[in-house]
Copies of this chain bind each other. A is one copy, B any other.
């Protein structure tokens, strides 16, 4: 495969003519593809059909079985931090004791937003509310998850980008930034990161856990969204952040988040937050004013469907079987069309929901337009960066989960054509 940079102008023009023909043919097909969001497909949601049957009536007595293992009537009020079964299960997954878990409603984004909001209006560790401390800042590993950045934008929190490396965020930069007492937080998807699929190395986890921020009310928002979401076996291993924090006397540094949105149902799963005893007490104090308790019936459905971490793992195998061919369809096409041309780089994640593709600098928006004009929606280019601005205009987040394998094959081909065309347009000036 010849690098574009080594081709003559004639060769580039010939290449462009060929690709333009392929592109026009695609356009004529009137495709309608959506690779924009990390949405599970209907086939994945069908795996959790059993959730609908977990609260059945006894055929003899006609009584529905709505009590949990400890006898709680899950229909009524109460139980601020969730059912004990799920506190145990999620605690086992995240590596903390059940007492350190808060099991809530359907949205971990909601838990993150509310936790940041609490920092803004109430503060942490006895410090003044962030809202009253001046222009506070969060560290944002980039590229990253757009909804994390959006929360910062909503609250007027200044975002400080640091690079995501293959081992996690650039910790030299992070260690430098936390010396500023106005730096109050850091976002991080520590496993199968969004969008690159990076899992933090042991060293990175240890360095995060050993941070000595100038601000006592600095917190890491450890969004473990893909904690059991392997595509390949064996998947990546992530060190237990809480244990590492403990070794450093740094228990209060981290809020952990997870949910079953991509285990059971995206819109009707269960979300959870884990933290140190002191942090949990602060969170629960706020929650005790905010609600009487979560939907325990939906928690009960989940507790009955997943009796142990092994049940969850077995279930995630089935997801992986559905998703693997979709990811492979994209990766094979990227390799076939882009490898060796010197115009793109991409990740081959072992889990998570995305493939991250870096095209030639200044070409990502053009690729997005070319794809859209041919009927395929990509994640808005720039969304993976703070303020929606990719400084090099090169990152594209590919979300292969929602379309079918056949659609993904088509979509990946269109994407590759667009990447090559955009590069050729740039090189030909």
Contacts and interface: CB of A to CB of B under 8 A. Distances in A.
Interface string A142-169: 0000010011011100000000000000
Given A52-B56, A286-B154, A291-B113, A267 B76 contact: yes
A235 to B, nearest CB: 24
Contact of A267 (B40, B79, B106, B147): B79
B290 A267 contact: no
A75 interface: yes
B42 A73 contact: yes
A175 interface: no
Given A76-B266, A296-B267, A107 B291 contact: yes
Determine the interface band of chain A, counting residues with CB < 8 A from chain B. 35 or more
Nearest to A151: B289
Interface string A187-227: 00000000000000000000000000000000000000000
Interface in A111-143: 113-114, 117, 120-122, 129, 131-132
Interface in A93-115: 105-107, 109-110, 113-114
B75 A268 contact: yes
A342 interface: no
Contacts of A52: 55-57, 64, 66
Contacts of A75: 45, 48, 265-268
A131 to B, nearest CB: 6
Contact of A40 (B76, B293, B298): B76
Interface centre among A49, A55, A289 (most CB of B within 10 A): A289
Interface of A: 37, 39-40, 42, 45, 48-49, 52, 55-57, 64, 66, 73-79, 105-107, 109-110, 113-114, 117, 120-122, 129, 131-132, 147, 150-151, 153-155, 261, 265-268, 286, 289-298
10 contacts: A42-B73, A48-B75, A52-B57, A75-B266, A77-B261, A107-B293, A121-B121, A154-B289, A267-B297, A298-B298
